[in-house]
């Protein structure tokens, strides 16, 4: 799990409760008081602690049979492959496009499915990438860059900390991310390949946008 914040908190909680055998938590940030309204994996007494450490402790309390590897590191080009290799599913709950694209590129090279979510203010989204697989028609599934071909200019898209976010929204999207990961691990259902699930909390509306492989 990349990020033990708003999305990582509910996702990790439900994966731990489900008994997922091993969870790796990657986050170089520390818990702050302002995080607690949406990052429910962290308690008040964890303020100031590394999020990876706090998350690992809470996961152990939820399910002591789950092995947790807390990595207080920032995902970067020089460590991404070593941090993400050896996993059945990669989950991205980061809050910036650069990290999301890096995670997607590395996941594609490692041929590992990627569940990615995003939230801001009252809106959220989740989708799944596995571009090394084919769809039912034998065509390659889309890449991250097919959905997001260009990075936004620096400073044009505010982070959750800058724009604000409804705390409960993180719970909705993080729970959906956990659901997608469980589907991938168990082979149940239809993962969100080529489908971007959008949620508008103000209107309580879900929509699905389909996207495909670009030439």
The single residue of 20, 75, 141, 160 carrying the catalytic annotation is: 160
Whole-number Å distance between alpha carbons of 108 and 144: 9
Told to judge if 160 belongs to the known catalytic residues of this protein, a careful annotator would answer: yes
Is 102 exposed, middle or buried (CB count within 10 Å of its CB: 0-12, 13-18, 19+)?
buried
Question: What string of H, E and C letters represents the secondary structure of 34-103?
Answer: HHHHCCCCCCHHHCCCEHHHHHHHHHHHHCCCCEEEEECCCCCCCCHHHHHCCCCCEEECCCCHHHHHHH
Q: CA torsion sign, 86 to 98 to 79 to 53? A: negative
113: how many CB neighbours lie within 10 A of its CB?
A: 25
Nearest to 40 by CA among 2, 6, 74: 6
Q: What angle do CA 124, 130, 132 make, to 5 degrees?
A: 160
User: Which residues are designated catalytic?
Assistant: 160
């Amino acid at each position: 799990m990349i990020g033990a914040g708003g999305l990582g908190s509910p996702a990790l909680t439900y994966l731990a409760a489900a008994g997922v055998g091993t969870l790796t938590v990657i986050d170089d940030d520390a818990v702050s008081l302002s995080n607690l309204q949406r990052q429910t994996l962290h308690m008040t007494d964890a303020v100031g602690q590394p999020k990876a450490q706090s998350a690992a402790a809470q996961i152990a309390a939820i399910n002591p049979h789950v092995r947790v590897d807390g990595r207080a590191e920032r995902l970067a080009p020089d460590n991404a492959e070593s941090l993400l290799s050896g996993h059945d599913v990669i989950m991205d709950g980061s809050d910036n496009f650069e990290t999301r694209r890096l995670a997607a590129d590395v996941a594609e090279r490692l041929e590992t499915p990627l569940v990615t979510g995003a939230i801001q203010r009252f809106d959220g989204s989740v989708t799944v990438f596995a571009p090394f697989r084919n769809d039912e028609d034998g065509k390659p599934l889309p890449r991250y860059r097919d959905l997001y071909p260009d990075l936004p200019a620096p400073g044009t898209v505010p982070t959750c900390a800058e724009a604000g976010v409804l705390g409960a929204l993180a719970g909705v999207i993080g729970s959906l991310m956990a659901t997608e990961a469980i589907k991938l691990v168990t082979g149940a259902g239809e993962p969100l390949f080529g489908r971007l699930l959008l949620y508008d909390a103000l209107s309580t509306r879900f929509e699905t946008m389909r996207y495909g492989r670009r030439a």
